[in-house]
Each structure stands twice: as C-alpha cells, then as structure tokens.
Structure 1
Amino acid sequence: MATQHSRSAARLMMAPAVILLLGWMLVPLTMTLFFSFKKYLPLRGGDLGWVGFDNYVRFVTSSAFWPSVVTTLIIVGGVLAITVVLGVLLAILLNQPMWGQGMVRILVIAPFFVMPTVSALVWKNMFMDPNYGLLAHLWKFFGATPVEWLSQASLPSIVMIVSWQWLPFATLILLTAIQSLDSEQLEAAEMDGAPALKRFGYITLPHLSRAITVVILIQTIFLLSIFAEIFVTTGGAFGTKTLSYLIFQRVLESQNVGLGSAGGVYAIILANIVAIFLMRIVGKNLDA
C-alpha cells in the first residue's frame, strides 16, 4: 500500500506538469475574458477602454453569427456521420485476413498524419480544380460538365475534405475495438444460423458502442474549431464561414481584438453545450 510519504512524493513530482497544464489553459482563457470587455484596436488607437458587454451584444447580433453557428454544426454533423459509418465498415474490412494486411492498414491510417493545410491544398488543386483536377477529368471522360466544387457545392466539399482526414482516426479506434471482440460469440451465432446482418446488429455493433462514443466525443471537440481547411479552400465564402473563421475575421482582418475575444467566449460556450449534449446522449455507454 502507498504510504503518506509516497503519496506526497507523487503529488510533488506531478505538481510541475499540473501547474504547466493549468497555466496553459487558464492564461489564454483569462486574457480572452479580459479583452472581451475592452475596445482594443491594435492598429486603430490601441486600448480604448472598457465597454462592458458591448462586444458580446455586437457579436451575437451580427448578421454573420447565427449562420456561422449553423455552418459549424452542419460540418460537424456531416463529418461525424461519414466517419462513423465508413469507419465501422473499414474496421470490419481491415479485420478480415488478407494478403498485405499490415500495409493496407498503414495506407488507410496515413491520411490522419497529413497536416490539415496540406490536405486542403491537395484536395483543392489535385482533385477539385474545375480545369485540371482529377474529378474534372473524370467528369469530362463521361461527357459531363466539371463541377466547381468549392463554389457550387462548397459545404459538401468541406465535409468531404475533413472526413477524409478524420476517417483514419475513427477506423483505428473502431478496429482496435473489433479486435477485442470475442470471436467465439460470432462463431456460436453463425453456428446457430444467424445471418451476417443480425450478427452485426446484435453482437458487433453493441460491442462497438463505447468506441463509437469515444470517436464522436473526441472528433466533436476538434471539429468545432475547424479553420485551416476553410481558410485554404474557400476563405469563408459560399456559406462556409464557421464560428472559428468569423472570430479570425474579427480579430485579424478587422483588427478588433475585443470583438474577437467575445466571439471566442461564445465558441467556448458552444463547445461546452455540444459536449454536455453528447455526454447525455451517448456518454452513458462509457459506464456500460
């Protein structure tokens, strides 16, 4: 058993990491709250004093605020639906014995290690360019007019790009969960005459519920702050302006740090609301 001395020594050794982590989180949050109550224009007069909740009112009453929130939620929902469904299918496929299984798994997981900016540039120039992209040549081959993806189908394009990047993460988590499934259950069900769909619905899918919950929670946290893909591809045009991009415009393009900080506080509130909602809906699977 751990003694009082050993517990004290453990706390002492953990203290620097805990202090660093708290500072890393609390200092930016405190500064964001501080500037959200001030009118601070770095290139147009600097600190112009306290304005109270004026920045919050201006940001939430902006004509771009609610559309940006809706766009953010649409992208998050679309990416989650695609990555979870395809992740389950890919995980089942990769779990089957095949030649070169290890290499196939590496190739499937590889896109997750590509930087978001690089991924967006590759999709924008190599695949979605209406003149020279691979998809444009495919359309022309079948006699159809190439689609200008980033203007005519902007939101689906963003969802496609982000899904391609996050699908390997979902596949990896779900593949690990499938490999922990007791094969004797599936063999027994097969011997009893249960078809493949029923074995999937009554055995495999319930076993994956906790892994799916983890995928949804982790991806949602990161997807709510999606920025790089939009900055590189559409620049927030054609209805793709998310809340993070709106904050970027207020801070860097409009040089209004106070207004952008108020937007940052709204982003934190939105992230917490979504996280609490998800935890209430699917978080109970973690205790199962």
Structure 2
Amino acid sequence: MKIVSYRRHGADGFGVVVEGSAETGLAVDATTMDPAIRSVLDLLRADAVPQLARWVEGRDADVDLAAVALRPPIIGSRKVLCAGVNYAPHRDEADLRQAENPTIFTRFADTHVAHGAPLILPSVAKNLDFEGELLAVIGRNVWRETPEQANDAVVAWSCYNDGSVRDWQFHTNQWTAGKNFLGTGGFGPWLVTADEVGPVDKLELTTRLNDEIVQQASVSDLIFSVPELVSYVSQFTPLGPGDLLLTGTPGGVGAFREPPLWLSAGDVVTVDITGVGQLRNDVAAEGGDQGR
C-alpha cells in the first residue's frame, strides 16, 4: 500500500495511491476514514494502517495527484535519526575505518521537502551534496530491544535525499549544521508499507544527477542492518510511531570525487529504490519556493 500526503484546496490530506505515478496517479482520499485521523502521523500513532488497508478496498479514486501539491509523506515526526557511513564504499571514499558501532546524527523535521519540490542551495554556503538513502518509518514503540526483537519495528519505507551542506558539515567534527539547512532533505514520493516491500536486502538504490548514475548499491550492502540500527538507537532514546530512521548512503557522493561534484541551481536529483519508488527534486537557489 502506497500512502501519500498532499495539500489540495488549501487543506492538508492523505490518501492511498491506487494507480499511476506520483505525478499523474490517482488516490483514494483517506481523511474521511476516521474523523480522529487527519494525517499519516495520526494514522501511525493510532496503529491504523491495517484498518486503512481494509477501508480502501473497493473504493473509487477521488484524488488526482496531478492536481494536488505533494507534501513530505509524514509531517511533524518527533525524531529523525540518521546513520552515517553505513556502506563500505562510502566509508572507504571518506577514508574512515570500520566503526564498532553505528554513527548516528539527527535531522530536524522542518528540513524535509516533498517529491517534486526544490532542494534549496543556501546563500551562505557553496557545497551542497547529494546522498540517496532508504528511509525507515517506525511503526510501534521501541525501547532497548535486541535486533531480533526490533525486526518488525518498521511499518513502511520511503526514499530520501540527505542533502548535505559539506562546507558547514566540516566546520567541526559534529555534523548537525551541515545536515539541517532548511529545504535540503528530499522525502517521498510516498510511504510503501513494509508488507508490500518485503525483505529490504533485495532492494537496489540508484541516485542520478541530471540522468547520470552517481550512486548505485544493494541495500544488502549496509554495514549495520536496519534491525541493528533500530536496536542501537533504542538503547539511548525511545522510538515511537512516525519516527524516522535514515539508513545511510552508498559511495559516490560528490564530496569525495576528484574534482568534487557539487549541486548547482537547475540540477535534478533522483533517488530510485526498487519496490519503493522514485524521488525527484530539482535544485534552486535560496529565495524561491521551498515546497514546505
């Protein structure tokens, strides 16, 4: 089941995609299912994904995605946690040794931009980089679980572009600034429920810059698996429905190319994950519509 968030007629809504692409598809508006559930975050916190799957069966599409403005699939996540250098080729190009534990940093939820909205090139920075990633959506409370216990904690998946402002990221050895500029986190186009995706180690991730492949890897190449990441994070902070976990980017990022490959206004970046979807964002100089 593909769950999409959008704005139409001045109001936010969400629905289930039943046909076509994010640009031209059709969806069933789900805001009429339950008056207490007005968003995807409400849906997850109510543990109502199974209810939605039953409710949507046999219903006719009533939302034309070409006529709405897509939003990031989840608005207002409490926690957005990210795994760094979690593919061996990316670790090697960054000239880092294998860590004993995952490298975890945070993103702010207000940095997300939707599929089709621009990534923003900040006026105070120069080196905006791309990082295609698989995003995991937590579906239940998780606290100090083993990887085996955490194996069913993910309710859905999405595509993410962890746009990184490298000149600010490398001001210090703490990455917070470079990872949290407004409008730098592409997220979408939708969530795909875990039951539809199946085993993530079968997924292939491809990032393209202006139609040229710049990153390509199997998700099976993750150094720390998704259950291991969820387990590790849950040792220091409780996770709950609607929290997000970025699982890491493959090798090929712009920062470690020779010469470096930075994003410029007018570029188009796509993150394509088999079985999940294709996220597309162009790049715009600060001052335009940030799509939030």
- What's the TM-score once normalised by structure 1's chain length? 0.22
- What's the TM-score once normalised by structure 2's chain length? 0.21
Higher relative contact order (CA 8 A, sep 6+): 1
Higher strand share: 2
